Amino acid sequence: MQKPTLLGIVGGSGSGKSWLARHLKESLGPQKVAALQQDWYYRDLSHLPEEKAAKTDFDTPASLELDLLESHLRELSKGHPVEAPQYDFSRFSRKNETLTIEPRSLIIVDGLFILHEKPIANLLDISVYVDTPSDVRLLRRIRRDLSERGYELDRILQFWEHDQIPSFTKFVHPQSKRASLIWDSMQDTALVPALLADLQNRTTRYADQPTI
């Protein structure tokens, strides 16, 4: 296994982080890219009554097992596969099954707090902060949570007002200062093609290096 490139993608909820990760993986091909989502690493709350679990603030770093995510990134960077947890957002619990992630030349991880913790941030070779207007992000979150997570509209709006907005101000937006690149997703049409070309060069360059 050649030395991989680690790319972190961070931004507010609904900013387009997952879209960018998928686009890069589809463009470069699954044989070159391993992708992890920070959302997989939310803490299991199955031991709590559903009503109490539903009131948990999921927009803080403490709601995630970031140390486990860090461990998995380190293992992948060493050429070892990992068993990534999967999360059931309708029940606020980990699923029984895991997802096997094989190491690749490019490892992408996206999430709200990728650059918040120094141990994870220091592992990354390159990072992108996705900057998207709050009204666009809210509309995207409503669509996602209604269709994919089974949340009611009142719950989505309550989360947004009481959890997401304060979290964005306190935790998410400050990470833009630590990112290698800032992408204005509504205006900048040049960054993604340039990033894709750069990653293509990086994966090709690392493929030419001796194995580790």
Phi and psi at residue 70, to the nearest 5°: -60, -45
Question: Is residue 87's pLDDT more than 80?
Answer: yes
Q: What are the extents of the domains in the chain?
A: 5-204
Distance in angstroms (rounded) separating the CA atoms of residues 98 and 94: 9
Least confident of 51-65, 73-87, 166-180: 51-65
Cβ neighbours for 99, distance < 8 A, ≥ 6 positions apart: 40, 83, 84, 85, 86
Name, of 42-51, 158-167, 183-192, the range with top average pLDDT: 183-192
**pLDDT, tens digit (0-9, with 9 covering 90-100), for 14-36:** 999 999 999 999 999 999 999 99
**pLDDT, tens digit (0-9, with 9 covering 90-100), for 122-175:** 999 999 999 999 999 999 989 988 988 888 899 889 889 988 899 999 999 999
Q: Pick the more confident residue, 186 or 90.
A: 186
- Write down the mean pLDDT value for the chain: 92
**Which secondary structure element, helix H or strand E, spans residue 111, and what is its range?**
strand 106-111
Q: Are 111 and 164 in contact (CB under 8 A)?
A: no
Share of the chain above pLDDT 70, in %: 96
Q: Pick the more confident residue, 38 or 55.
A: 38
What is the chain's Cα-based Rg?
Answer: 17
How many Cβ atoms from other residues are within 10 Å of residue 209's Cβ?
9
pLDDT for the residue 212: 46
Right CATH number for 5-204 from 3.40.1390.10, 3.55.40.10, 3.30.365.10, 3.40.50.300? 3.40.50.300
pLDDT for the residue 209: 61
pLDDT for the residue 1: 46
Q: Pick the more confident residue, 93 or 55.
A: 93
Cβ neighbours for 176, distance < 8 A, ≥ 6 positions apart: 129, 131, 182
